[in-house]
Structure 1
């Protein structure tokens, strides 16, 4: 019963503070609102960005080792050493495919450059030639929008069959169904047997095949010298068998590649073994820094807001000194006065926090309108965290004024 009366009185006094001096209250709560906006806004943006990037990178597969000359980690200090390495080639792919017992899939691909395609009187430039072995669709889960993938016989024979990216097919054929149509590229004729599904609007898209012109390795080897490591460097992807640890897979790959490249025991590896976890760790550190920046900026704003709310509470205690004396003379205990002012401070800060959350929702809605590929969402957990932070700030801002009011001498308070 007493608690409900104290709460009702605190609500009434908080409302009086909000309506009695609107400008002072607005400026005092502005710090809390901006602080919550910075903290929750940055947390929501970073979490949404992390989910978007992680979802995009997940397409690479967390059970795949990517063999390249360049490591995915920071390589600025050893740039010249990495630059002199040979690119992985088809010979590395064949050695791994024949000898690597811990792998379920081994695939090789390379991008020799851009090409111009022609269909009747229509020509499209800028498409990049993507030369790959047969296993690519199982490494990347390549989705076919229309048509089909190569058959084993077509791959083995190096048939003039081609797959086109969705955007490239739309530019070249328009509304016409491209499946079965014949195009010209580099003086050769190819039959379009399939188009790839659109890559989507992800902020980071590691597998953007929208402008890809896919041909098989056996076909491209007829008119391109793909054995030149330095001119047409590629990548080998190795997918682990179920139950095989990535560390063991890397050890097996390293042994086979060193033997195939005839490296002496004391020579360093002239290749890099990359995993998705390497990128995830680097991104995790980056997102951690962004979160810290948000907390620092928001923390300063909240400190300013807390000082402003504390000032409001000191003014409130000063204005109600006589009333406090009367309450204590009538038997009100210290904890009742303490809870009353502390609750009032908490309510003021929560109102400021709610304003900050509304600001977050408004700003994210505007951003989402202009960035359809990157949607920022305010999760319920972050919303609750914003309210809890506001309540804690209210306690810290109101505890000193509340203690001052609770410890007043009733006689001296009524005289003032």
Structure 2
């Protein structure tokens, strides 16, 4: 009962502060609002960015090991050593496919460069040639939008049939259905048997085939010297069988590739084994730094806001000194006076925090209009954190003024 009266009185006093001293209260709460905006805004943006990037990178598979020339972990001191390494090639792929008992899928691809496609009088430049083995669709769950994927016989025989990325197909054919149409690439005729689904609007898209010209390895090897590691080297990907630990998979890969490349026992690996977890660790550190920056910027603003709110509370205590004396003379205990001023401070800070959250919602809505591929959202958890943080600031800002009010001598207070 007493608590409800205290809260009601505090609400009334806080409302009077807002109405009676609009400018002073607004400027005081501005620090709280900006602080909450910086902290919650940065947390929301970083979390949305992390979800976007992590979701995009997850397409690479957390149970896949990528054999490459370069490690995904940055190590500039060893750049020259990595530069001298040979690229993985089709021989590495064949060795792994024949000997990997712990792998469910082994795939290889290389990107020899850009090519020009022609269909009748139309031509499109800038499409990149993506030479791949047959397993690519199962490795990355590639979705064929129209048409179909290669058959095993088409891959084995290296027939002149290709798949096109969605953007490339639209630019070349427009409203015409590209399936079974004949196109020319470097003077060779190819039949289009399928187009891939759009890659989407993710901020980072590691599997963006929108501008790709997909050709089988057996076909491309007829007109490109793919045995040249340094010029046409690519990447080998190995997907683990269900239940196989990644460490065991890496050990098996390392042993087979070293044997294929005839490395001596004391020689170091001339290849890198990369996993999605490597990028996840690096990104985790990066996002952690962004969160710290947000807390630092917001923290300074909140400190300034807390000092301003404390100033409001000191002024409020001074203006109501005689009233405090009357209340204590009539029997009001110290904790009642303490709760009254403390609750008023908390309410003021929560109002500032809510303004900050409203600013987050408004700014993110504007950003989302201009960045459709990167949507920032304010989660309920962060909204609750903002309100709780505002309340904590209110407690800290109002504690000393509330203690001064609670400890006043009733006689001295009524005289002033």
TM-score, structure 1 length as denominator? 1.00
Q: What is the rounded CA distance, in whole Å, between the counterparts of 1:259 and 1:174 in structure 2?
A: 50
- For residues 92-138 of structure 1, the C-alpha deviation after alignment (integer angstroms, 9 at most, x for no partner) is 00000001110000000000011011100101110000000000011
- For residues 142-187 of structure 1, the C-alpha deviation after alignment (integer angstroms, 9 at most, x for no partner) is 1100000000000000000000000000010000000000001011
Pair 1:36-2:31 in alignment: no
Paired position in structure 2 for 1:251:
251
Pair 1:68-2:68 in alignment: yes
Give the alignment of 1:6-85 within 5 angstroms. Answer: 6-85=6-85
Give the alignment of 1:99-178 within 5 angstroms. Answer: 99-178=99-178
Q: What is the rounded CA distance, in whole Å, between the counterparts of 2:276 and 2:321 in structure 1?
A: 65
Q: What is the rounded CA distance, in whole Å, between the counterparts of 1:110 and 1:404 in structure 2?
A: 75
Q: What is the rounded CA distance, in whole Å, between the counterparts of 1:232 and 1:54 in structure 2?
A: 30
Give the alignment of 1:1-400 within 5 angstroms. Answer: 1-400=1-400
Q: What is the rounded CA distance, in whole Å, between the counterparts of 2:134 and 2:54 in structure 1?
A: 27
2:354 aligned counterpart, secondary structure:
helix
CA-based RMSD: 0.5
Deviation at 1:76, TM superposition (A): 1.1
1:239 aligned counterpart, secondary structure:
strand
Deviation at 1:77, TM superposition (A): 1.3
Q: What is the rounded CA distance, in whole Å, between the counterparts of 2:371 and 2:78 in structure 1?
A: 37
Identify unmatched segments of 5+ residues in structure 1: none
Q: What is the rounded CA distance, in whole Å, between the counterparts of 1:198 and 1:412 in structure 2?
A: 78
Identify unmatched segments of 5+ residues in structure 2: none
The runs of at least 4 consecutive aligned structure 1 residues that moved more than 6 Å come to: none
Deviation at 1:75, TM superposition (A): 2.2
Q: What is the rounded CA distance, in whole Å, between the counterparts of 2:78 and 2:67 in structure 1?
A: 18
Q: What is the rounded CA distance, in whole Å, between the counterparts of 1:63 and 1:138 in structure 2?
A: 13
- For residues 252-277 of structure 1, the C-alpha deviation after alignment (integer angstroms, 9 at most, x for no partner) is 00000001000011110000000000
Deviation at 1:190, TM superposition (A): 0.3
1:131 aligned counterpart, secondary structure:
strand
TM-score, structure 2 length as denominator? 1.00
Deviation at 1:233, TM superposition (A): 1.2
Q: What is the rounded CA distance, in whole Å, between the counterparts of 1:4 and 1:148 in structure 2?
A: 70
2:231 aligned counterpart, secondary structure:
coil
Q: What is the rounded CA distance, in whole Å, between the counterparts of 1:392 and 1:114 in structure 2?
A: 58
Q: What is the rounded CA distance, in whole Å, between the counterparts of 1:254 and 1:189 in structure 2?
A: 40
Q: What is the rounded CA distance, in whole Å, between the counterparts of 1:78 and 1:172 in structure 2?
A: 43
1:266 aligned counterpart, secondary structure:
coil
1:78 aligned counterpart, secondary structure:
helix
Q: What is the rounded CA distance, in whole Å, between the counterparts of 1:6 and 1:110 in structure 2?
A: 73
Q: What is the rounded CA distance, in whole Å, between the counterparts of 2:123 and 2:205 in structure 1?
A: 26
- For residues 220-277 of structure 1, the C-alpha deviation after alignment (integer angstroms, 9 at most, x for no partner) is 0000000000000100000000000000000000000001000011110000000000
Deviation at 1:3, TM superposition (A): 1.3
